[in-house]
Amino acid sequence: MPSTPSITYVIVPVTPLYQNCTIVACSKTKKCTVIDPGYEIDRILDVVKKNGLTVEKIWITHGHFDHGGGAKALKAATGAIIEGPQKADKFWIDNIPQHGLYQGLPHMERFDPDRWLEDGDTVTMGETTWKVFHCPGHTPGHVVFYNKENNFAAVGDVLFKGSIGRADLPQSSPSDLIRSITQKLWPLGDVFFIPGHGEPSTFGEERKNNPYVGDLCR
């Protein structure tokens, strides 16, 4: 597992959409959070076991099926607490089974978060503390998880290497998405981030080269 000062992480692509389920662990306690367990829970648990980890939390960036479709099953298997997203995504969560069936994934389930998150909240995992940013645009209740000590963020489908999230879905907003990226993420500096799909990048790299939200675009 790659590591930063106090965390390790591993990306487990799940679903036919290759959604980045990210397992992030506290290096000291070996407790971990599973971010966006969309599907293939047995495979996720195999990775957890192989690395000697204990699942403490389940964090959900937003309510789309490929990000949250396995959250209920993972909670049942581990007893972990589900945190996120922001409550405006409840309608997406409620429709996870329907959307899963449409994609040929019949075992996806809706879930009830143990804690809805709001902008400025903090969440903990092991001995690490993370700040929550409400970043609407792709979905109305999308959140981003940021750890300052490790200069690390899990951004879901807000931002990608060379691209940004879709904003043509129900209750999406292109203007909100751009505002979330440029007004909430860019001020954090050159942060390493893992997106919901594709390769990791840094905010600094995207400010230079992203054709949608790079500095030269504005």
pLDDT digits (tens, 9 = 90+) for 26-57: 999 999 999 999 999 999 999 999 999 999 99
pLDDT tens column, 205-214: 999 999 999 9
Classify residue 199 by burial, with Cβ atoms within 10 Å: 0-12, 13-18, 19+: exposed
Count of residues making up the chain: 218
- Three-point CA angle 91, 95, 98, nearest 5°: 165
pLDDT tens column, 116-169: 999 999 999 999 999 999 999 999 999 999 999 999 999 999 999 999 999 999
Q: Domain 7-217: which CATH class?
A: alpha beta
Report the pLDDT value the prediction gives residue 191, as an integer from 0 to 100.
Answer: 98
Nearest C-alpha neighbor of 161 from the set 209, 100, 91, 108: 209
What one-letter code names the amino acid at 20? Answer: N
> Cα 53 from chain centroid?
19
Beta bridge partners of 21: 12
Instruction: Quote the CA–CA distance of 89 and 87 in Å, as a whole number.
Output: 5
The DSSP output letter for 177 is H
Look up the pTM and report it: 0.97
